[in-house]
Structure 1
Amino acid sequence: MYVLAVLSVLHLCCSSPATSQDWPLDCTARKTIPYHSDNGRLFREDDVWNYTTVILREDLGLIVLGTRGVIYALDINNINTKKASVKWDVTDTQQTECTYKGKDQEIDCQNYIRILHTIEDGRIFVCGTNAFNPMCDYMNYTEGQLILQNDQEDGKGKCPFDPFQRFSSVWVEGELYSATSMNFLGSEPVVMRGSPEPIRTEFKTSWLNEPNFVFMDHIPEGANSPTGDDDKVYLFFSETAVEYDFYHKLAVSRVARVCKGDLGGQRTLQRKWTSFVKARLECPVLESQLPYLVQDVFRLCPDDDWNSCIFYAVFTPQMDSSDYSAVCAYSMHDIQQVFTEGKFKTPVTVETSFVKWVMFSGDLPTPRPGACIDAEAREQGIQSSLDLPDKTLQFIRDRPLMDQAVQPISSRPLLVKKGAWFLRIVVAPVAALDGATYPVMFIGTDSGSVLKAVDYPADNAADTFIIEEVQLFQSSNAIKILRLSESTGHLLVGSEVGIVQMPLSSCGRYKSCADCVLARDPYCAWDLTSGQCTAISSAQTQAKRKLIQNLQDGDTSLCPPSEKAKMINTSFVMGSNVKLKCELISNLAEATWYRGDNQLAPSDKHHISRDSLVIPNAGSDDAGMYTCWSTEGIAGHVHRRQEAEFKLTLGTEDPIAPQARSASKGLVGLQVLVVFLSLMLGILVGWNFYKGHFPLPCMQKQRQSSIEDSQADVPGVLEPLHCTEDKTTAPAGNSNNNHTDLANTVPVDGHATEESSI
């Protein structure tokens, strides 16, 4: 019954607002760009797979790309230019040992590059799965070459064993923080700092229970902190919930944090985190009772101020029966408040030894469990986590889970969309002509497309607008990684089969002023001087340019009048089906048809679809002027544009259906071929008759007479054929005259003469 209740909610269309909340309405991309090589530059090489690990080295002008067994250095301005590469393969012995673990030799037992981090001295820290035996190394880019130092170290706890297992890592001041598994079975999840004395999580289900790690990042909260707080590392993941009583495993999304200066406890939690706390992450989608699961997170900090940081996250359902995805955003303040002021959950044993998690209502020990060492703790003589009392450490060891969940900004998603599942997200702040900065979201899907959307602030309502959806890969190739290169104005999009460098803006797609303005793309504006839609950055470099952009309302009133659609003359015959085409440039537009000044409504007489008007069994009274108008609603405003105009007249010839026309053309071609062959055959037969190869009866007599004349020393020439019936019967002795032996045949004036033997 519980599942049925959930399914009854999830059937709602994303464009229909829920009754209790104001949901984002514009869940359809305004433009859909089909797969084409012009959508971006593709880099791939034969027999190389898994283009999913990328870092940008703008100081070197490089994109460093990790794949299966190969690391590439590509030109940051043109990904098709390969500057260097280095192989890191596994040996035959390593592959054999990997197969002993029950893994596939050709797929699993390879070296998938999973970690690339730039470290303080300019080198690159790199780790690979190494045939289910993870290893790490250091790499230099010197004199145009990528060089592995072969100074390998154990990668357990840093890099995953399984190349297809989710993990995350971040490099912070000479130390690697990682979230992965400690064994090849994936049954020992760990969040670890790989210092000379590693600090990690406990192997307890109350800490991590079958997690799927998604994102990890460092927040410098200790910088200019009035309380002397410490920096923190935040982790986003999903896991099987321990706090819910459900008849099967129920997964939830989490956010957790640890303190950068955590050294573990003195007796309790030795070499374990003393600051590991986690909370549920909510993203309520259409009142669904089953939690959506986080798939990727991107941190955006305006003006490099960590207090203003916002975490953008994409979510998908944990039931295949739903095809909705969502984007939720979380403020740094709200996350902090849950961890610093929220209550904890505690396990309670009830009858039949069942453990239930409830809110802890008792007094908390001092210092607060899970808190970093701050100025107040130092005043109490606690200089590091090694000085924390056992009571505080025992509490956080048994109760790392917060009772309160972290809610998204405005307690609702920024975007809910039906269709392909969202997998990855990055966000770029873009300064528009109105002086405001807007977050432009690029969202990768499991169908190989990228959505470009903008969150426009609105009063008590969500106004997230999807500008376009661009297909970069074939539909079966899910997007595994997104990276922004704002310095070059590109987005890097990686999948199993290749990596694409896509421009952040493609203003040339908008051919008219209205189309450019209605796109509401912060990157683009209509240039009245050049009469084209252009990128703001390039337009601003030229003085005295008048640009039109209206992001909030999509107001096209400042645009020059649009050209009237060219009238198309169309004739039809009585009783035929007439189809008038009207192509719309926006997925958000609807077609409205008029005959003269009268609007047409769908009926048996007029079949109106998105791109055409069909008049079945047209008669003389259907002749007239027809116009198609597109109607597009943007931010509460309606914009109309004439897209097509037809003059429909009654003709006299029968229409030929496409199939019949095609068959008719084929029949005519066959008839021409038959006539041509017949003519050639007639010429050939006539020529042979003319040459005497096929003599007619009348020619036989003439030939005999000619022979007789030749015997009389008179040259014989075949006369033209004037055949009449010869009723004279040749004497019996002359019956073989046609077999007279002719010594020579000499052409004379194109005719044959026969000379008898002498």
Structure 2
Amino acid sequence: ACTYIHLENFTLMSSGRGQPFLDGKGQCPFDPQHTYTALLVDGELYAGTMNNFQGNEPIISRSLGSRTLLKTDAFLRWLSVSAVMTGSDGTIMGDNDRRQREQPEPVTSVMNTLPLLQSDVGGDKVLQKKWTTFLKAQLVCSQPGRFPFNVIHHAFALPRHDGRADFYAVFTSQWAGSAAVCAYTQEDLEKVFEGKYKELNKESSRWTVYSGPDMSPRPGSVSAHRPLSLTFMKDHFLMDGKVFPIQGQPLLVKSDVTYTRITVGETRSISGTTYRVMFLATGGFIFGVHTEPPLQLSLAPPVKNLLLGILYVGYSRGILQIPLANCSLHRSCAECVLARDPYCAWHSPEGSCQPTRHTNLDWAHRAGLAMRGAPLTPLSTPAGLNPQPNTVVQLPCPRHSALATYSWQQPGSSRGHTALLPDHTLVVIMQQGMAGSYKCVATENGFTWTVAHYQLGNSGAALGDGLAEEELAWGSSPWHRPAVLVPVCHGDGAAGSDADRGRLPGSPGLP
């Protein structure tokens, strides 16, 4: 039952007859651990949840409003695990459907998209108070030669300027322990639902392609209210075709993470390029990702629901409002340029990184906002190290950007006497001729800068005198104290290598 609490005396409110205001069965779960979703459209509540306290009867219902209450038919087992829904008329919905396979193998979760029309009113004699526009098609999200991402967690519909929509969904793999984001076009979804049906052969318990005569009007359409069409739909709700993602592969794949929510927005950079930015929620963090150029991630507070414009974050204790642009995190021109944040650009007159959302393009150029930077200039001297002979020295190379490539510049006499670890740490055995300058250099998007610089000398020599005390304290060992050279931009930020998007060591990334 649904009601609310009167805060003055902390009592449950009820109607004049002492009853709860609304029966919540089929609209909210019996157990908070059960997956659920809800959407309010034109005063009507569309909900996907469990219909019993055992958690084994999933349901998608439409309630409230003045029209007939509709729900899925539990007897027909259209659903077997809870669904995920987003959108409105022509909604996309996903469910992890445990259906019979051709071989007696372990039950596998299959992702499906379900088109439920807002104008559905149920059948007259067949499927009374049940959905008559219920069909299912399998969503494919996989990489060639690898286990598929077969469990869907959330989906988001992004409207396009032509009145259509693209759908983004987050998946995990029940075998590989990784997550993926796949995108689908509305045209591809509709094409599958206009195709052939599957039917269950009861003798062999196999799903096969329906080869009988075409049904007119087709099941799933609002006009298909004839008893014959509805009876056909009860057993032919699964489409034969599969919905493949845009470009035939995931937009993003990441190991050892589970994304729980996704929302997608568009923004235009000062160069006029339109970027789609995906905000992905997981346990305690938000990741901001834009897909062109290559992917870039960042962190923010915990989340259970996401809404765009300003990013509204719903979690167990309330709702947070987070700006899409957090450009103040980028304190220099190089940080701003290499952050690859489509919401930010460098403002040379004020010497600050500023938001570009809703910025006029001509004004941006006159104001000196730039996404390009000058060559990077080091500000500090190398860290001096003086190890004893025949000792092993590890020289770390901090990997602050996943998009950069790293290499070492070292004295010619040292080659053949050093080893490189997987994390780009250089191992040096101090012998005669090993003294000299060692630099770890990063290159990204046309920019090259020194990440760490060490000057190895003979035992007893003085350390480099150009480092601040706190920089020397950064290393955890007296034998390797890394000095990160901080790059800056000069002039109006319009010269140098093109870095329409980028990232600097230490940059926190997207807001």
TM-score over 0.5 for the pair: yes
The equivalent residue for 1:177 is: 46
The equivalent residue for 2:82 is: 212
Question: Does the C-alpha gap of structure 1 residues 287 and 614 become closer, same or farther in structure 2, counting only changes over 3 Å?
Answer: closer
In the alignment, the residues of structure 1 paired with residue 200 and residue 448 of structure 2 have an alpha-carbon distance, to the nearest angstrom, of: 61
> 2:190 corresponds to which letter in structure 1?
Q
Look up the SS of the partner of 1:465 in the other structure.
Answer: coil
8 Å contact kept, 2:396–2:424: yes
8 Å contact kept, 1:453–1:464: no
In the alignment, the residues of structure 1 paired with residue 299 and residue 358 of structure 2 have an alpha-carbon distance, to the nearest angstrom, of: 23
The equivalent residue for 2:407 is: 592
- Using the TM superposition, give the Cα deviation of residue 453 of structure 1 relative to its aligned residue in structure 2, in angstroms: 0.9
The equivalent residue for 2:214 is: 364
Larger Rg: 1
Question: Does the C-alpha gap of structure 1 residues 521 and 365 become closer, same or farther in structure 2, counting only changes over 3 Å?
Answer: same
> 2:306 corresponds to which letter in structure 1?
R
> 2:295 corresponds to which letter in structure 1?
F
- Which digits, 9 at most, give the CA deviation of each residue in 1:92-121, with x for residues without a partner? xxxxxxxxxxxxxxxxxxxxxxxxxxxxxx
> 1:544 corresponds to which letter in structure 2?
R
Mapping of residues 348-497 of structure 1, within 5 Å? 348-350=201-203, 354-373=204-223, 388-446=225-283, 448-456=284-292, 464-466=294-296, 468-470=297-299, 472=301, 479=303, 481-486=304-309, 489-492=310-313, 494=315, 496=316
- Using the TM superposition, give the Cα deviation of residue 538 of structure 1 relative to its aligned residue in structure 2, in angstroms: 8.8
- Say whether 1:652 aligns with 2:482: no
Look up the SS of the partner of 1:154 in the other structure.
Answer: coil
The equivalent residue for 2:69 is: 198
The equivalent residue for 1:344 is: 197
- Using the TM superposition, give the Cα deviation of residue 576 of structure 1 relative to its aligned residue in structure 2, in angstroms: 4.1
In the alignment, the residues of structure 1 paired with residue 420 and residue 245 of structure 2 have an alpha-carbon distance, to the nearest angstrom, of: 45
> 2:99 corresponds to which letter in structure 1?
A
The equivalent residue for 1:631 is: 443
Using the size of structure 2 for normalisation, the TM-score is 0.79
**What is the aligned counterpart of 1:333 among 187, 212, 223?**
187
8 Å contact kept, 1:212–1:237: yes
RMSD of the TM alignment (CA)?
Answer: 3.5
> 2:299 corresponds to which letter in structure 1?
V
Percent of residue pairs bearing the same amino acid type: 30
8 Å contact kept, 2:406–2:424: yes
> 1:327 corresponds to which letter in structure 2?
V
- Using the TM superposition, give the Cα deviation of residue 289 of structure 1 relative to its aligned residue in structure 2, in angstroms: 5.1
The equivalent residue for 1:261 is: 119
In the alignment, the residues of structure 2 paired with residue 214 and residue 176 of structure 1 have an alpha-carbon distance, to the nearest angstrom, of: 14
- Say whether 1:545 aligns with 2:360: no
Look up the SS of the partner of 2:153 in the other structure.
Answer: strand
- Say whether 1:621 aligns with 2:442: no
Mapping of residues 59-458 of structure 1, within 5 Å? 152-195=21-64, 197-208=68-79, 210-219=80-89, 232-288=90-146, 292-303=150-161, 305-307=162-164, 309-319=165-175, 322-339=176-193, 341-350=194-203, 354-373=204-223, 388-446=225-283, 448-456=284-292
In the alignment, the residues of structure 2 paired with residue 599 and residue 441 of structure 1 have an alpha-carbon distance, to the nearest angstrom, of: 49
In the alignment, the residues of structure 2 paired with residue 539 and residue 290 of structure 1 have an alpha-carbon distance, to the nearest angstrom, of: 41
Look up the SS of the partner of 2:374 in the other structure.
Answer: coil
The runs of at least 4 aligned residues of structure 1 exceeding 6 Å deviation read 87-91, 538-543, 658-661
- Using the TM superposition, give the Cα deviation of residue 180 of structure 1 relative to its aligned residue in structure 2, in angstroms: 2.1
- Which digits, 9 at most, give the CA deviation of each residue in 1:479-527, with x for residues without a partner? 5x132341xx434152x46765444233333344344323322112222
- Using the TM superposition, give the Cα deviation of residue 402 of structure 1 relative to its aligned residue in structure 2, in angstroms: 1.0
8 Å contact kept, 2:135–2:237: yes
Question: Does the C-alpha gap of structure 1 residues 491 and 621 become closer, same or farther in structure 2, counting only changes over 3 Å?
Answer: farther
In the alignment, the residues of structure 2 paired with residue 202 and residue 522 of structure 1 have an alpha-carbon distance, to the nearest angstrom, of: 46
Look up the SS of the partner of 2:367 in the other structure.
Answer: coil
8 Å contact kept, 1:317–1:324: yes
In the alignment, the residues of structure 1 paired with residue 104 and residue 8 of structure 2 have an alpha-carbon distance, to the nearest angstrom, of: 48
8 Å contact kept, 2:58–2:82: no
In the alignment, the residues of structure 2 paired with residue 410 and residue 538 of structure 1 have an alpha-carbon distance, to the nearest angstrom, of: 30
> 1:171 corresponds to which letter in structure 2?
L
- Using the TM superposition, give the Cα deviation of residue 136 of structure 1 relative to its aligned residue in structure 2, in angstroms: 10
Question: Does the C-alpha gap of structure 1 residues 599 and 521 become closer, same or farther in structure 2, counting only changes over 3 Å?
Answer: farther
8 Å contact kept, 2:196–2:209: yes
Question: Does the C-alpha gap of structure 1 residues 508 and 538 become closer, same or farther in structure 2, counting only changes over 3 Å?
Answer: farther
Look up the SS of the partner of 1:218 in the other structure.
Answer: coil
Question: Does the C-alpha gap of structure 1 residues 397 and 583 become closer, same or farther in structure 2, counting only changes over 3 Å?
Answer: closer
- Using the TM superposition, give the Cα deviation of residue 592 of structure 1 relative to its aligned residue in structure 2, in angstroms: 2.2
Question: Does the C-alpha gap of structure 1 residues 654 and 261 become closer, same or farther in structure 2, counting only changes over 3 Å?
Answer: closer
8 Å contact kept, 2:40–2:46: yes
Using the size of structure 1 for normalisation, the TM-score is 0.55
Question: Does the C-alpha gap of structure 1 residues 88 and 453 become closer, same or farther in structure 2, counting only changes over 3 Å?
Answer: farther
- Using the TM superposition, give the Cα deviation of residue 366 of structure 1 relative to its aligned residue in structure 2, in angstroms: 1.9
- Using the TM superposition, give the Cα deviation of residue 202 of structure 1 relative to its aligned residue in structure 2, in angstroms: 1.5
Look up the SS of the partner of 1:615 in the other structure.
Answer: strand
8 Å contact kept, 1:239–1:254: yes
The equivalent residue for 2:468 is: none
Question: Does the C-alpha gap of structure 1 residues 211 and 621 become closer, same or farther in structure 2, counting only changes over 3 Å?
Answer: same
Question: Does the C-alpha gap of structure 1 residues 609 and 621 become closer, same or farther in structure 2, counting only changes over 3 Å?
Answer: farther
8 Å contact kept, 1:428–1:440: yes
Question: Does the C-alpha gap of structure 1 residues 584 and 533 become closer, same or farther in structure 2, counting only changes over 3 Å?
Answer: farther
- Using the TM superposition, give the Cα deviation of residue 297 of structure 1 relative to its aligned residue in structure 2, in angstroms: 0.6
Q: How many pairs align?
A: 459
Look up the SS of the partner of 1:405 in the other structure.
Answer: strand
In the alignment, the residues of structure 2 paired with residue 605 and residue 234 of structure 1 have an alpha-carbon distance, to the nearest angstrom, of: 56
In the alignment, the residues of structure 1 paired with residue 364 and residue 143 of structure 2 have an alpha-carbon distance, to the nearest angstrom, of: 46
Flag structure 2 segments of 5+ consecutive residues without an equivalent.
Answer: 464-474, 479-511
The equivalent residue for 1:643 is: 451
Question: Does the C-alpha gap of structure 1 residues 297 and 600 become closer, same or farther in structure 2, counting only changes over 3 Å?
Answer: farther
In the alignment, the residues of structure 2 paired with residue 535 and residue 292 of structure 1 have an alpha-carbon distance, to the nearest angstrom, of: 38
8 Å contact kept, 2:376–2:449: no
In the alignment, the residues of structure 2 paired with residue 246 and residue 87 of structure 1 have an alpha-carbon distance, to the nearest angstrom, of: 59
Question: Does the C-alpha gap of structure 1 residues 639 and 599 become closer, same or farther in structure 2, counting only changes over 3 Å?
Answer: farther
> 1:647 corresponds to which letter in structure 2?
Q
Flag structure 1 segments of 5+ consecutive residues without an equivalent.
Answer: 1-68, 72-84, 92-134, 138-149, 220-231, 374-384, 457-462, 474-478, 550-555, 662-758
Question: Does the C-alpha gap of structure 1 residues 482 and 179 become closer, same or farther in structure 2, counting only changes over 3 Å?
Answer: closer
Mapping of residues 26-41 of structure 1, within 5 Å? none
In the alignment, the residues of structure 2 paired with residue 619 and residue 273 of structure 1 have an alpha-carbon distance, to the nearest angstrom, of: 79
- Using the TM superposition, give the Cα deviation of residue 398 of structure 1 relative to its aligned residue in structure 2, in angstroms: 1.8
8 Å contact kept, 2:57–2:81: no
- Using the TM superposition, give the Cα deviation of residue 253 of structure 1 relative to its aligned residue in structure 2, in angstroms: 0.5
Look up the SS of the partner of 2:386 in the other structure.
Answer: strand
Range with greater deviation from structure 2 (286-295 or 252-261): 286-295
Question: Does the C-alpha gap of structure 1 residues 650 and 187 become closer, same or farther in structure 2, counting only changes over 3 Å?
Answer: closer
Range with greater deviation from structure 2 (569-578 or 427-436): 569-578
8 Å contact kept, 1:175–1:194: yes
8 Å contact kept, 2:418–2:426: no
